[in-house]
Structure 1
Amino acid sequence: MPRAVPAAVVAAVAAMTAAVTVLAGCQQPSGASGVSGVSGTGLEPGKAAATAAPPPAYDYEPVFLGVDECSSFGTTSFTEVSCASERAAARVVARHDGKVSEGPPCPATTDFVLHISAPGPTRDEDGDGRITQGYACMRKLQEPHPGDPGGGGGPRTIVGDCVYSAGEGEVRETACDGKGRHAPEYRVTQAVKKRSGCPDATVLYVGLGGSEPVGCARPV
């Protein structure tokens, strides 16, 4: 039986692919097979970080990458730019203080997350000289959008996404069109509050988080 299984302050980028929870105890039709998995809500963060000089003094505290503001292209660091600029790459769709693991989830179709940091004392809670100030949920200005259903990425797994078995106790998200590095094996067709709400054809339960945390998945 299958087991249902982040002025220029610097940012660390959450990776676009990651482990997904597979919840234990699903109903499996005769002859069906499934996979089990580890804890997670969509993406396993692969972090790259750097720091920049402190922002200039203001009479008020400006918010770096506030909602509806845009960031430049980047791999390890990002700058805030006008959304009309040719350098603009992505727009902030939500902005929260604190750590991703402790704050509200990003909107479902977020493409990636920026972990916003500022220069800090030599010793801090992580010993890395940076103080985490929050995170920005980003949506690219141009396609493709990995956070869209079936897109194969984004910080969350949502209805319409596909996953593949990544080893014992783990599944990972991949593009449903088969153009990713891994072929899709299961598609999340529905989100429900409890496993009992999934249809009989479900062979895998995937942890989604949110108000409807159980994803009902079928073979592709």
Structure 2
Amino acid sequence: MRERWSAGVLCALPALLAALLTGCQSPSGGAQEEDGRLGERSPAPTAAARPSGYGAVFLAIDECSSFGTVSFTEVPCSSERAAARVVARHDGRVSDGPPCPATTDFVLHISEQRPSSDEDGDGAVPRGYACMRNLQPPHPGDPGGGGGPRTIVGDCVYDAGGGKVRETACDGEGKRAPQYRVTKAVAERADCPASTALYVRLGGERPVGCARAL
């Protein structure tokens, strides 16, 4: 049994990688620590801070965005351009705020801007982040989906070398075949079942993921 810590990594949608900043299940900067080693992260998109007039707050909960190659625009959820819905919205940096819901597909980082008009008339759209869920499949944030900003029970990972693991689809349709599946989340490693081959950092109230070999 491989008794070492490893951490899951955000896998953002490939079409979103042209944007800025990062978002991960562990809300820190551009890398995460694994037993003193740094794990790589994939970049997450940045939303254009342009108020659309469709809601009182730019990209508020239950509002929708389009997909873009550089920026994202708030659009009515009934629009044919609508691609994802906001499931949680927080001001400030990801590193300072609460984590996104477990099945979030990706995170939009909203840059602070001072446009000519905005949702409340104060001349500013504050820095924040929106946790997004695609309106249609695929949903990489679902258990076993191979992505999303968090690693959760049901997700699969592979050994990326150097004591690091990265998330991949459990159905084997990803670029890398799955090697471990997270079967349980517990408070301490001692609570994992005997079949555990890998411990994965999940964060939250039960931060230890017990993963078995596939």
TM-score when normalising by structure 1:
0.75
Matched ranges for 1:34-45 at <5 A: 38=38, 44-45=41-42
What residue is the counterpart of 2:74 in the other structure?
80
Matched ranges for 1:79-118 at <5 A: 79-118=73-112
What residue is the counterpart of 1:157 in the other structure?
151
What is the letter of the counterpart of residue 198 of structure 2?
L
2:135, 2:22 → 1: CA distance?
18
Of 170, 173, 181 in structure 1, the residue corresponding to residue 175 of structure 2 is: 181
* 8 A Cα contact 2:21 2:44, kept in partner: yes
Q: Structure 1 residues 185, 14: closer, same or farther in 2, change over 3 A?
A: same
Q: Structure 1 residues 218, 209: closer, same or farther in 2, change over 3 A?
A: same
Q: Structure 1 residues 20, 216: closer, same or farther in 2, change over 3 A?
A: farther
What is the letter of the counterpart of residue 44 of structure 1?
R
* Cα offsets for 1:135-161 (capped at 9, x unmatched): 000000000100000000000000000
Q: Which is greater in Rg? A: 1
Tell me by how many angstroms 1:2 deviates: 3.1
Tell me by how many angstroms 1:118 deviates: 3.1
Q: Structure 1 residues 38, 65: closer, same or farther in 2, change over 3 A?
A: same
* Structure 1 counterpart SS, 2:129: strand
1:118, 1:204 → 2: CA distance?
40
Of 43, 46, 57 in structure 1, the residue corresponding to residue 43 of structure 2 is: 46
1:206, 1:132 → 2: CA distance?
34
Q: CA RMSD in A?
A: 3.2
* Structure 2 counterpart SS, 1:119: coil
* 8 A Cα contact 1:12 1:114, kept in partner: no
What is the letter of the counterpart of residue 103 of structure 1?
G
Per chain length, whose mean CA-contact separation is higher, i.e. which structure has more relative contact order (CA < 8 Å, sep 6+)? 1
List structure 1 segments (4+ residues) > 6 angstroms apart after TM superposition.
15-21
What is the letter of the counterpart of residue 183 of structure 2?
T
What residue is the counterpart of 2:15 in the other structure?
none
Identity of aligned residues (%): 64
1:46, 1:153 → 2: CA distance?
12
What residue is the counterpart of 1:119 in the other structure?
113
* 8 A Cα contact 1:189 1:215, kept in partner: yes
Q: Structure 1 residues 84, 165: closer, same or farther in 2, change over 3 A?
A: same
What residue is the counterpart of 2:5 in the other structure?
4
Q: Structure 1 residues 114, 161: closer, same or farther in 2, change over 3 A?
A: same
What is the letter of the counterpart of residue 41 of structure 2?
E
1:160, 1:37 → 2: CA distance?
25
1:63, 1:46 → 2: CA distance?
25
1:103, 1:16 → 2: CA distance?
12
Tell me by how many angstroms 1:119 deviates: 2.7
Of 194, 197, 203 in structure 1, the residue corresponding to residue 197 of structure 2 is: 203
Q: Structure 1 residues 55, 68: closer, same or farther in 2, change over 3 A?
A: closer
* Structure 2 counterpart SS, 1:101: helix
Structure 2: state its 5+ residue gaps: 7-11, 13-18, 115-124
Structure 1: state its 5+ residue gaps: 25-35, 121-130
Q: Structure 1 residues 140, 134: closer, same or farther in 2, change over 3 A?
A: same
TM-score when normalising by structure 2:
0.77
What residue is the counterpart of 2:65 in the other structure?
71
* 8 A Cα contact 1:50 1:77, kept in partner: yes
* Structure 2 counterpart SS, 1:118: coil
